[in-house]
Amino acid sequence: MENHKRRVHYSGKYPRKFEEKYKEQNPEKYADTVAHVISKGSTPAGMHISIMVKEILDVLRIQPGEQGLDCTLGYGGHTRKMLEQLRGKGCMYGLDVDPIESEKTLERLRQAGFDQDIFKFRLMNFADIDKLSEEAGKFDFVLADLGVSSMQIDDPKRGFSYKIDGPLDLRLNPQQGQSAAERLHDITKDEFKGMLIVNSDEPYAEEIADKVFGLMRKGDAMDTTTALRSAIEAALWKVPADERKDAVKKSCARVFQALRIDVNSEFEVLYAFLEKLPDILAPGGRAAILTFHSGEDRLVKKSFKALYKAGVYSEISEDVTRPSPEEQRLNPRSKSTKLRWAVKSPV
């Protein structure tokens, strides 16, 4: 029997540090605890719950012997379910730009029995799928899940969540590009205001931009998640007291989203992916895309419709598919998800 490794001891009733929470280290070992947390409508620390798995498998109609691609590996939940559909025949590729979490995911998949012959990983952005296709050939099924993984959100060192104090980073690959804090120092107040409007439809964009840049002019550092959250709270002081808490919460979520989209060039990456997608699909190949933002969904919808009219796709989803009410209850982070799909013309 495998020796049980004792959990890290910590003072107090609950773990205070991300590193002291054990579920993200080995969720399989603590399956009962994980199941209990999920049943309460929460996501265990450091663990990602895959969204709309059945709906995606229904759309992709994976057959043994086919070649597939998961453009955003993340925690690997979708990947594993798709690999299981292959029943040991064919292969899949997985892409991710996050060197930290992808290493953990690859280890989990290898331990689950998916070796190099059936699953191949590449540390690369899915905007470069054309380069992958030059190496691997065409794909029979493709999934792109555009959401940020819960492991990234829950890790304070990554700076994705306004709820946890940490560096204001927000990069999917912390080894490349500018952090969100550095980005704020490189743009003007008007550029920040425009970013909030375009990327997240923030109704208090002007007030928040005024406050953030006013504080930075006075010498206040805007380099932590807590500092930005405090600035947003201060910017919304005119909101009626009984509405302020909810308004601040929603604005924080939108502001952090807008910065994340900008720092990681997410719209530009999606543009490139949608443009290249038809060329990497085999005749009759199926593609499914999960979006979590109205701007992303509009881009996907527009691309699919235009290419359907041009005869590139033989079928596309007429409307979005959303998570069931039960899934939304069990996984609140799934509520904004939209699924669209397309099928490449057979000739």
- Per-domain residue ranges for the chain? 53-150+269-344, 173-263
Q: Which of 324, 323, 286, 273 is nearest to 57 (CA)?
A: 286
Q: How far is CA 262 from the centre of its chain?
A: 14
For 339, the 3-state DSSP assignment is strand
Determine the Cα–Cα distance for residues 20 and 17; give it in Å rounded to an integer.
5
For 178, the 3-state DSSP assignment is coil
R_g (Cα) of the chain, nearest Å: 21
Q: Name the helix (H) or strand (E) containing 244.
A: helix 241-263
Cβ atoms of 285 and 142 within 8 Å: the answer is yes
Type of residue numbered 55:
E
Q: Residues with Cβ < 8 Å from 73, sequence gap 6 or more?
A: 79, 94, 95, 96, 102, 105, 106, 121
Q: How far is CA 162 from the centre of its chain?
A: 16
Structure tokens that stand for 230 in this block? 């405090």
Q: What is the CATH number of domain 53-150+269-344?
A: 3.40.50.150
Q: pLDDT per position in the chain (347 positions), as tens?
A: 344 333 333 333 333 443 444 344 444 544 454 444 434 444 444 455 889 999 999 999 999 999 999 999 988 999 999 999 999 999 999 999 988 889 999 999 999 999 999 999 999 999 999 999 999 999 999 999 997 765 566 666 676 677 888 999 989 888 889 999 999 999 999 999 999 999 999 999 999 999 999 999 999 999 999 999 999 999 999 999 999 999 999 999 999 999 999 999 999 999 999 999 999 999 999 999 999 888 899 999 999 999 999 999 999 999 999 999 999 888 887 888 999 999 999 98
